[in-house]
Amino acid sequence: MKHLWSLAVAFCFPLALMAQTDTVRILRTSEAPERTEVREQRFATEDTPELQKTPDSLVRVEVTTIHYFTDTLTSIAYTPDSVAKQREEVIKTDSTDRRWHYIEAHVGLGYGSLGYQLRGAENHVNGSFSALLQLQYAYFFHPNFGVGAGLWFTNYTSMAHIGGDYVWTQYANGNPLVDSDTEQNYYHTASVRRWRERETIHNLGIPISLQFQYKEDDWKGRIFMAVGVAPSFSVSKKYRVLEGEITHSAYYPAWDLTLNNMHEFGTKDYRNEPQSKGTLSVRPQVAIFADFGGLLPLTPQIDLFLGAYFNVVANNANSSERRDIGWRDTRFDFMDEYAGAYATTNASASHPFEVGVKVGVHWHYIKPDKHEIVDYFDYFTRQDTTVETLPRHDTIITERVDTLTRAHIAKAAEEVEKFNKIYFDFDSHQLSEESKNYLASIVGVLNKVPDAKIAIDGHASEEGQRRHNEKLAYNRAKAVAKFLVSQGIDKERVIVIGHGSLIPNEENINHELPLDRRAEVKVVQKQSEIQ
C-alpha cells in the first residue's frame, strides 16, 4: 500500500505543476498524520570492520508517514486600469543661488578733504573727519557679477591755515596806491597770524557701480568688490574762520613814516567779522569710487559687509572767483569780500576725496517656492479571485542516522590532529589566511562526527606577564572557535580553553618562541577527555 501511494504522488505532482498558470496560487494545509511506519537498520561500514563487534554501531532509521493535505487553488484575474488625477507639487528655490535682487545699506567713517593746496611757505591745508551714508539697489545677473545704483550722502572737510606778510606797492594791480587824503606812493602791509578756518561740503550723489562677489566652496563668507562713478552736487558748502588775526600798517617813503594803530591801520580779530563765515562756490562733481571687503552670512537672506572704501572727485570742484590774499578796496579794509581760502589765488584745483572703513548689510531677495498643479494618471490593477479546494494525501519517507561509534570519533580525531595547530604572530590573536585555510579543511571531518565535542586550547610563548599571556591564549582559542562556528559548526559543541604559557609545544624541540604562540583543535567524546 505504501508503494502505491508513492507511485501516485510521483505521477500526479508533475502534472499538477504543468496545469498551473501565472494566475494560480496553491495553498497547502496539513492535518494530523494517518499512519507512521518506522523501520530500523543497523549496519557497519566496510572500512571499519571493528564496528561489527561493538554494540553502538551506526543505526539508520527509515520513517514512512502518511499525511492528509488540502490544496487550495486560487485563480486570480488581473485587469489593468487608470484614473486621471491632479496633485500640487512644490518646487523648492535654491537659497544658495546668489543672483537676482539686493538692497545694500552702508555706513562709512574715515578721513576726507576738499583736495586742494595753498601756495605759500606758511599756508597749508589738512583733511578732517568724514562720514558716508549709502543706500542702493543691486541686480546680479550672474552669481559673481552685478550692477548697482542708489544714493549716498557724504561730507568733505578741510582745515585751511594762512600766514605771512602781504605787501601792496604803489602799482599793485596796475594802479597807484592812494590813501584817504589822496596821498600817493605808500606801501600797505598786512601781517596774517594764526588764521585757521574750516571748510565743509555736504554732497548728495548717485553711485552707479559694477559689483563682484566670489565664494569658494569651503569658505563661510564671500569677497565683495565694487567700482563705479557717482554724479554729485553740494547741498551745503560752508566755511568759517575759527581763529584769525591781521595787523595792518602803512609806510610812506616820501616822509619815511610808518603808520600803526590808527583807524585804518592796526590789528583786527576776524573771528567776529562778516567775512569770518560764508558760502563756498562749488560746481557739480563726478566722483570715482571703489569698495572692497567681505560678506559674512547672518541668515540665508542677510549678509554683513565689512570693508574699506575710497572716492575722489574727477573734475575741479572749485568754481570761485579767485582773489589775491590781501585784496583791498578804497576803504582800505583788508580782505573785504573775502570768500574763504578756497576762493583765493593761492588755492590750487580742488578734487575732494575720502577714504575709510565701511560696515553694512546686504539683503538678498530669494524667490518663493513655486506651487504647481500637475496632471497625472494613477495606474492600478483590478483583481478577481476564484478559490477551489482539492483534498488529497501524500506519503513522506525520511531517513536519518541516529548514533556514531566511539571508534568513528577516534578516527575523525586522528584526521584532525594531522593539522590541528594554528600559529599566531607575536602578541596577536588574529587568524592569518593560511590558518583559515587549514581550519576550513577540517570542517568536513568535524561534520562527520556531529555528536563529538571539539576542544580548542590556546597557548602563548614565555614572553610577557602571566595574566596577559592567559588572556592572549584564551583570545587565540576564541578566534579559532569563532571561525569554526562561522563555517557551520554548532557552537554548543565547541569548548574554549586558555592555558597561557604553561604548556610548551611538544613539537618545539628547539624551543623556538614562535612555535609556542598557537591554538590546538581536538575532537573528544566526553567532557573527561578535555585537559
Tell me how far apart the alpha carbons of residues 79 and 23 are, in angstroms, rounded to a whole number.
12
CB 56 within 8 A of CB 5: no
Please give the grid coordinates belonging to residue 328.
583791498
Tell me which residue of 401, 399, 408, 398 sits closest to 42, measured CA to CA.
401
Tell me how far apart the alpha carbons of residues 268 and 263 are, in angstroms, rounded to a whole number.
11
Sequence-distant (≥ 6) Cβ neighbours of residue 436 within 8 angstroms: 483
**424: Cα separation from own chain's centroid:** 46
3-state SS assignment for residue 282: strand
Tell me how far apart the alpha carbons of residues 39 and 399 are, in angstroms, rounded to a whole number.
10
Helix, strand, coil: what percent of the chain each, to 5? 20, 50, 30
β-pairing verdict for 453-458 and 494-498: parallel
Q: Which domains does the chain have, with CATH numbers?
A: 2-78+383-401 (no CATH), 100-368 (2.40.160.20), 406-529 (3.30.1330.60)
Which residues pair with residue 294 across a beta bridge? 223, 306
Tell me which residue of 244, 221, 235, 344 sits closest to 282, measured CA to CA.
235
- In tens digits, what is the pLDDT along the chain, a chain of 531 residues? 444 444 444 444 444 434 333 444 444 444 444 444 444 444 444 344 443 444 444 445 455 565 556 667 777 777 777 778 888 877 777 767 778 899 999 999 999 999 999 998 889 999 999 999 999 999 999 989 999 999 999 999 999 998 888 776 655 455 555 555 555 566 777 888 888 999 999 999 999 999 999 988 888 889 999 999 999 999 999 999 998 888 878 777 777 777 777 666 677 777 877 778 889 999 999 999 999 999 999 988 899 999 999 999 999 999 988 887 765 555 555 566 778 889 888 899 999 999 999 999 999 988 887 888 878 777 767 777 777 776 665 556 555 544 445 556 666 666 666 667 888 998 898 988 888 888 887 787 787 777 778 889 999 988 888 889 899 999 999 999 999 899 888 888 889 998 888 888 887 777 788 888 899 888 876 444 445
Q: Is 76 exposed, middle or buried (0-12, 13-18, 19+ CB in 10 A)?
A: middle
Tell me which residue of 344, 323, 322, 325 sits closest to 190, measured CA to CA.
325
114: DSSP letter: -
What separation in angstroms does the CA of 314 have from each of 155, 228, 231?
A: 16, 12, 10
Sequence-distant (≥ 6) Cβ neighbours of residue 182 within 8 angstroms: none
Tell me which residue of 224, 356, 358, 357 sits closest to 293, measured CA to CA.
224
